[in-house]
Amino acid sequence: MTFFGIGFLTALLYAAALAVYQLDLLSGKIAGEIFNWVLLLGLLYAYWQGAIHPAVAQEKGRARVVVGFAILFCGLALFIPPFHSMDLFGYINRGWQQAAYDINPYVTVVSEMPTLGRDPMLAYHWIDNPSPYGFLYMLWAKALCWIGGGYREFTLLVFKGSNVLLHFAIAGLLYLGVRKGNQLYQWDIPERQTLYLYLWNPLLILHHIANGHNDLAMAAFVVLAVTLAIYDRWVWVLPSLLAATLMKYAAVVTLPFAVLFFLKNRPRHPLRTLVTSIVLSGALFLWVSGPFLLDWQSFQFEKIVANAGVPTGSIHAFFYHAVKSLHIGIDPEVLKAGLTWGLRGLFLAIVGVRFYRLIRRPHFSTEQWILEVVLAQALLICFVSPKFYPWYLGMFLGAGLFLRAENPLRQWLVLLSCFQLLAFTFVGQAHMLNFVVMTALPTVWVFGRAKGHQAITESNAGLTPHLG
């Protein structure tokens, strides 16, 4: 099959999804299940064929062809109504609270608003939870709702359209960063294949464009920070990572590694550069958080923490539901608490050991820093957090593609994004089975093969890459 044929097949599948979900052509769960399996298997087949096609795998094609088809896919997905998750309506709720009512979404929940049920912009979704997102994302949601002007359908398109812009911004930064890294450090990362793996990724298109999830808002700033680091614009790296944290809190684990890199690798005036970066970051934090923190004593912290601790799709959820189902005499809540603290401790130990080893080095490479940033996010989000939804991969998949093609962490992220598409089928709704099939299986597959493969060594593809 030609590369154009693969592109047209992919476009046809997205067009079919648009017709089916926009016109509500499915009747019953069985029909929906069958259609989703056909859609996902078709998209995965096309994605795989494109990845190994000489136009991509051997860098023989033109990047603009990859981008052109991606524009077509995103254009189709933009008009596919949210068919798997209603989270987009939760974002609009919080943005509209601010834009129309000047209400702090960390203080007042939607269910407490007297206009709920009368205002068409307020949906019955997440109505009892305060905002679980960062201050910058709340300002972002407010701005998008202001642009939407109180028209619900148009506001939906505005939110999804902003994700399309973020998707291509991330791709552009990724392409520029990889090309610069290849020139400066001889990373030998395939540029067109990297662009393809990101732009055509069906998980990103279905979850973040069609269903409108907000993870790309955080991802854009993480990828921006990595690109700035590659271009040696380190004074802006810390503010970019702070902006990512103010979108979604998971990015906070990237900050210590950025500070350490400053101190280890700046050849001249590292402290002055670091202080300048910290001042810029502080100014950003005060500007973004100021309007919200005026009411910090009224924040509903208990509800925010409780919402974050609900086990879903994670290793927590696997054991929690296993204990509940098997009735083995262990209190599931006690088990959940033990797992939470145990995994947090293990995470801190792993990250702490890696951080300590970097401290002992005289310096470490930009590539090593990227690896630590991606690894810390992957461990936190995929294994430590009680909640793990497939779209969470959007937070760090882009940054992971800055790693070399033979790096098992990069390979795992791409494969994991494919397995996580099963969330659209019955597998995603099956407690315990979803974690085993969608997360554990690709993890064992990639890292099991990497450990025993003679060609993969610690120096060129493992967790300590080349200098550069």
In three-state secondary structure terms, 387 is: strand
Angle at CA of residue 342, ends 337 and 343, nearest 5°: 105
What is the average pLDDT across 79-96? Answer: 96
- pLDDT score of 113: 94
Q: Which helix (H) or strand (E) holds 250?
A: none
- pLDDT score of 267: 54
Please say if the pLDDT value at position 427 is more than 60: yes
- pLDDT score of 466: 39
C-alpha to C-alpha distance for 135 and 218, rounded to whole angstroms: 12
What tens digit of pLDDT does each residue of 360-402 get? 988 888 999 999 999 999 999 999 998 999 999 999 999 999 9
- Asked whether 196 and 172 are in contact (CB, 8 A), the reply is no
| % residues pLDDT > 70 (the chain) | 95
Confidence of residue 35 (pLDDT cuts 50, 70, 90): very high
- pLDDT score of 61: 67
What tens digit of pLDDT does each residue of 441-454 get? 999 999 888 764 43
What is the average pLDDT across 97-104? Answer: 96
Q: Which residues pair with 387 in a beta bridge?
A: 312
Please say if the pLDDT value at position 440 is more than 90: yes
Residue type at position 40? L
Model's pTM, two decimal places?
0.92
- pLDDT score of 454: 39
Q: What is the DSSP string of 85-154?
A: --HHHHHHHHHHHHHHH---TTTS-GGG-TTTTT-TT--SSSTTS---S-HHHHHHHHHHHHHHTT-HHH
Confidence of residue 321 (pLDDT cuts 50, 70, 90): confident
Angle at CA of residue 464, ends 460 and 468, nearest 5°: 75
Please say if the pLDDT value at position 456 is more than 50: no
Please say if the pLDDT value at position 268 is more than 80: no
The lowest-confidence range among 21-25, 241-245, 310-314 is: 310-314
Question: Average model confidence (pLDDT) for the chain?
Answer: 90
53: alpha, beta or left? (left if phi > 0; alpha if psi -120 to 50): beta
What is the average pLDDT across 125-152? Answer: 95
- pLDDT score of 460: 41
- Which residue matches tokens 């450090």? 185
